[in-house]
Amino acid sequence: MARQKMSEIFPLTEELWLEWLHDEISMAQDGLDREHVYDLFEKAVKDYICPNIWLEYGQYSVGGIGQKGGLEKVRSVFERALSSVGLHMTKGLALWEAYREFESAIVEAAR
């Protein structure tokens, strides 16, 4: 609750967003919790443009690939991430590699 109030008043730092996200992820147990975490990621990427937050979002969305619309969700997150921070000088490459690995795994699974 305190984090929610603080985020409404001040933009949070990368560290604060990641800490909050990790706490929520560790408590998520079902599909509704997963949706709550997705909503929190959306707030985070709108509040703070950061490759590390986008990378966490992409990796978290891969965990939901088995849900309805999961494949499209993962692709959407990675494509938005690449549009937002894919050209980041030092961290953009990690996003490209994560997306490439994801798509390669999909191709391998289809064989």
Domain boundaries, the chain: 2-110
Instruction: State residue 51's pLDDT score.
Output: 97
pLDDT at 1 over 80: no
pTM of this structure:
0.93
| Contact call for residues 62 and 79 (beta carbons, < 8 A) | no
Q: What is the residue-averaged pLDDT of the chain?
A: 95
Mean pLDDT of 84-111: 96
Angle at 100 between CA 36 and CA 44, to 5 degrees: 30
- CA distances, 29 to each of 35, 55, 97 (Å): 11, 21, 28
Instruction: State residue 32's pLDDT score.
Output: 86
| Contact call for residues 39 and 9 (beta carbons, < 8 A) | no
Secondary-structure class of domain 2-110 per CATH: mainly alpha
Instruction: State residue 30's pLDDT score.
Output: 85
pLDDT tens figures, 30-51: 888 999 999 999 999 999 899 9
If one counts every other C-beta atom within 10 angstroms of the C-beta of residue 105, the result is 12
